[in-house]
């Protein structure tokens, strides 16, 4: 029997483990953090996610927990744009989603090793973002859950060229507030996120009726990059953020992680060459990565700021996510 080693039990590792099991392989799943665990993440799940989860037989369990988001509201400073998504998106905390994938994989026979592991040839590497090595202007992410009145929309507040905050529903009536800002802007407030958010009028008004549950989590520095051309990946099946970390405003990172994780699990179980696996991922992930990079640059240069409110939402949405 083929034995597949999967490093990391985030969405990419969970999807890889479940797919390898479906392919008839034995799975060793390594996870260094205790579960369930929180992650700095907007916890917005693109509509296509349901199709992948359905393939694992998890759609109804997922739907019984997740919040539904049929609407989107974008704020560019004082300008506002509202729309209806072609299909509803979902909100589920990472502690619930990642545990669902991990527990299902274990219940189907994956052997869980609660430890950090080093990759060996043929392993699925789904260990998340690489540590940032680049110097210069650094971005940090932050997140907390709030209770109070819940909206059925994903709301994105673009505060200036480089910062934005998402407000969206998750399970049990909670609201996720998650954002990204330059280090220097956060340092001005000594990383007091409440103070940072209160400086923005529209956001301050939006958050007024909500009460924060627990501390802010922060994460960074964040670097958006992909490793499709990295020859050192010729011996492993690299998936999720470890392969490509896209700007989170797209809300497509988890979808990409599930997608590449699924492909990696299948490729590892079938013994497909790693280079061929990576080429398949590149064809699906690189176009939306490039679109996201273009929109991010447009926003930070200032002219996207004026263009974006008039661009059709459906086009922005579909250009920034992979086809499954």
Ligand X SMILES: Cc1cc2nc3c(=O)[nH]c(=O)nc-3n(C[C@H](O)[C@H](O)[C@H](O)COP(=O)(O)OP(=O)(O)OC[C@H]3O[C@@H](n4cnc5c(N)ncnc54)[C@H](O)[C@@H]3O)c2cc1C
User: In the chain, which ranges are continuous DSSP H helix?
Assistant: 11-22, 49-55, 59-65, 94-107, 183-188, 193-198, 201-207, 253-270, 274-301, 303-307, 313-319
Q: Which of 5, 27, 30, 259 is close enough to bind ligand X by CB under 6 A?
A: 30
- Minimum CB–partner distance for residue 75 and ligand X (Å): 16
Name which of 117 and 203 has its Cβ closer to ligand X: 117
How many secondary structure helices (H) and strands (E) does the chain include?
A: 11, 15
CA max distance for the chain: 60
Instruction: Please report whether residue 288 would count as binding ligand X according to CB under 6 A.
Output: no
Does 110 help bind ligand X (rule: CB under 6 A)? no
Kindly tell me which of 141 and 304 has the beta carbon lying closer to ligand X: 141
Least distance CB 306 / ligand X (angstroms): 25
Q: State how far the Cα of 75 lies from the Cα of 230, in Å rounded to an integer.
A: 37
Instruction: Report helix, strand or coil for 157.
Output: strand
Considering the complex, what minimum distance in angstroms separates the CB of residue 248 from ligand X? 3
In this chain, which stretch among 227-235, 244-252, 274-282, 310-318 interacts with ligand X, using CB under 6 A?
244-252
**11 makes contact with ligand X (CB under 6 A):** yes
Q: Give me the least distance between CB of 123 and ligand X, in Å please.
A: 10
What is the smallest separation between the CB atom of 161 and ligand X, expressed in angstroms? 17
Q: Which of 6, 21, 27, 42 is the binder for ligand X (CB under 6 A)?
A: 42
Complex with ligand X: residue 81 or 113, whichever CB lies closer? 113
Closest CA relative to residue 68, chosen from 44, 36, 35, 48: 44
C-beta of 43 vs 263, nearer to ligand X: 43
Q: For residue 136, count CB atoms less than 10 angstroms from its CB and return exposed for 0-12, middle for 13-18, buried for 19 or more.
A: exposed
CA distance 226 to 238: 11
Q: Does 163 bind ligand X (CB under 6 A)?
A: no
d(C-alpha 189, C-alpha 175), whole Å: 23
**Contact string (CB under 6 A) for ligand X, positions 197-216, x = contact:** --------------------
Side-chain-side CA neighbours of 120 within 13 Å: the count stands at 8
Residue 252 interacts with ligand X (CB under 6 A)? yes
The one-character DSSP state at 110 is P
Q: Contact positions toward ligand X, by CB under 6 A?
A: 7-13, 30-33, 39-44, 116-117, 126-128, 141, 178, 180, 219, 222, 240-242, 248, 251-255, 257
């Amino acid at each position: 029997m083929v034995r597949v080693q999967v490093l990391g039990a985030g969405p990419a590792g969970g999807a890889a483990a479940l797919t390898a099991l479906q392919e008839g392989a034995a799975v060793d799943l390594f996870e260094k953090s205790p579960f369930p665990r929180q992650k700095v993440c907007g916890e917005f799940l693109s509509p296509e996610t349901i199709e992948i989860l359905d393939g694992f037989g998890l759609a109804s369990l997922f739907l019984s927990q997740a919040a539904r988001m049929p609407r989107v509201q974008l704020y560019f400073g004082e300008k506002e744009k509202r729309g209806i998504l072609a299909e509803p998106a979902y909100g589920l905390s990472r502690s619930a989603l990642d545990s669902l994938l991990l527990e299902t994989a274990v219940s189907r026979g994956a052997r869980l090793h609660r430890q950090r592991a080093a990759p060996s040839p043929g392993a699925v590497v789904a260990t998340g973002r690489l540590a940032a090595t680049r110097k210069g202007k650094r971005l940090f992410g932050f997140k907390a859950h709030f209770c109070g009145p819940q909206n059925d929309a994903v709301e994105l507040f673009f505060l200036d060229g480089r910062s934005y905050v998402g407000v969206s529903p998750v399970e049990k009536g909670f609201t996720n507030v998650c954002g990204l800002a330059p280090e220097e802007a956060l340092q001005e407030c000594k990383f007091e996120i409440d103070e940072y958010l209160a400086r923005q009028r529209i956001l301050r008004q939006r958050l007024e009726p909500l009460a924060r549950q627990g501390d802010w989590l922060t994460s960074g520095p964040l670097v958006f990059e992909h490793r499709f051309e990295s020859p050192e990946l010729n011996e492993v099946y690299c998936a999720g953020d470890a392969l490509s970390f896209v700007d989170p405003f797209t809300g497509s990172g988890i979808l990409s992680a599930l997608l590449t994780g699924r492909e990696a699990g299948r490729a590892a179980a079938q013994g497909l060459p790693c280079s061929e696996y990576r080429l398949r991922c590149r064809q699906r992930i690189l176009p939306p990565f490039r679109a996201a990079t273009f929109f991010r640059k447009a926003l930070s240069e200032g002219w996207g700021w004026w263009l974006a409110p008039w661009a059709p939402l459906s086009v922005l949405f579909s250009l920034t996510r992979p086809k499954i």
